Amino acid sequence: MASTGMIVSVCMCIIVGAMEFSRVTIAAKVPNVDAPQLNITYYIGNDAELYCTVSNLGRNTVTWRKLSDPVPISVGTAKFTPSKKYRVVHDAATKRWTLYIRKLDTSDAGEYECRVTGHDELSQTLTLIMPGNGGTHIEATESILKVDVGQTVLMPCNVKNLKKHKVLWVGERGGVLAYRKKVLSSDSRLRIQHTTREEWSLRIRNVRVSDFGTYTCIVNTNPVLTRTFTLRSKGPQRQAPVLSTTNHIRVVTVQEGSPATLVCNFRGYPAPKVSWSARVMIAGKKVKKNLEGRGAVHKIASARPEDSGNYTCTGRNGVYPTGRGRVMLVVEAKPTTPAPRTTPATPTGPARPIVYVEAEQVMKGKGDIAYLVCHSVGNPAPVMHWTRHRIRLNTSYKHQTKTTSNGLFRQKSELRIMHLESSDYGEYECFAHNNRGNVQTSVTLVEPSK
């Protein structure tokens, strides 16, 4: 879905043989297309070239399809239909998505749609007309009509040189609404407006929300001629909630006793209402707990270690699908006095971590590799990491860390220091933490005396 301020332009043209036809340009800050359809006449045996130019696609892509076929021709550059007639090419430099149709025949006649995924309203339809109908054709008119609920809308279907052909109107699900001048629907709000010999327009008065959708005027020529209209509300389009990933913080880390702020912003119309839930431990099992309060921001005044975990935000506005996001909260408990440097017993219930080292002092010479080993035990099993001068050490060319399970509720963490230099000697801290507390101990790396 487009974010506010996004500019999307869609251009289309058809090339039949060596002739280039009309182009339509569309630009909008929010998805909004008000462009006329195009009629293109082509001949058997020629190749057709249809293209869209789209800027700022983001995570979206472009699809091509023939409106008479529910199966798309392509999704991005990947061809979905098995037909060998089609090929799709994307030019990143010109932002052009081109659909090639080889060796046209009568079966290729009809309406083709270029659509930007994630934006149902950002599309354009082109009609390929087959010569041989004696000049019979439907005049090009706007294909996207916008109206307020309660108003009257007229979908113009003006057929030139109709002759003995007949006109049919069908609705979004293919149901027949009218045949020639006779309305076959039980809805008394529908009428066929036939003020001139060429006009076969469908009029709907007192428009309802349920009327929004697609309508097609069909002429039974060979091949068949169609003109498809999309009826939409003038107001903002209803859009399902989508989590805004811009500046979304997935992991929030705070110190014990500090306030914690979790944020999930959802886009959608109507404005989504946001609720929060968390996975908490109850009777030794993790269960979902709905949290009090609603809104995009969930605050914890004074975070505790047991508040750590995954928090789920859910956005709802009555439009499917429901939007969801996740924020992980990490509450770092305040360090306590180092635990005894002896091997402790396995805890029988929830317990704060205990840490101990294999050696309080490790002696290695310059150029060597040093191994510092630290053990922990706690319930739940502790998470471990190493620091140096209060800076957390991550795996790099210089430091390599590895933590493994060493029995029930026990962990072993190894810090490997490569190619020792003078600056590497000194104290290293080993931390172990769970939702019961945060404990540390230290190991000193020394250089052998000469």
pLDDT tens figures, 373-421: 999 999 989 999 999 988 889 888 899 999 999 888 999 999 999 999 9
* Amino acid in the structure at residue 205: R
Report residue 90 CA to chain centroid gap.
Answer: 21
- Residues 77 and 139 occupy one common structural domain: no
List Cβ neighbours of 169 (8 Å cut-off, separation of 6 or more): 157, 176, 177, 178, 179, 192, 200, 202, 215, 216, 217, 218
- In tens, the pLDDT along 284-322 reads 566 788 998 889 999 999 888 778 788 999 999 988 889
Q: 21, 23, 31: which is closest to 96 by C-alpha?
A: 23
State the CB neighbour count (10 A cutoff) for residue 284.
Answer: 7
- Among the candidates 278, 298, 332, a domain finishes at 332
Whether 122 and 10 share a structural domain: yes
Please write the tens of the pLDDT for every residue from 84-121.
999 999 998 888 888 899 988 878 888 888 888 877 66
Q: What's the pLDDT band for 184 if we cut at 50, 70, 90?
A: very high
Segment 317-344, tens digit of pLDDT: 988 889 999 998 888 766 555 555 567 8
402 with 297, same domain?
no
Residue that finishes a domain, picked among 276, 302, 332? 332
- Do 126 and 17 belong to one domain? yes
The domain that holds 211 is classified in CATH as 2.60.40.10
DSSP 385-435: EEEETTEE--SSSSEEEEEEE-STTEEEEEEEE-S--GGG-EEEEEEEEET
Number of structural domains the chain divides into: 4
| Domain assignment of residue 271, given as a range | 239-332
* Reported pTM: 0.46
- Indicate if 259 and 283 belong to the same structural domain: yes
Tokens of 332: 């770092």
Measured CA to CA, the distance from residue 152 to residue 199 in angstroms comes to 17
Same domain for 209 and 92: no
Same structural domain for residues 287 and 219?
Answer: no
Does 88 map to a domain?
Answer: yes
**pLDDT at residue 385, as a whole number:** 93
Q: Quick one: 230 and 253 in the same domain?
A: no
- Tell me how far apart the terminal alpha carbons of the chain are, to the nearest angstrom: 68
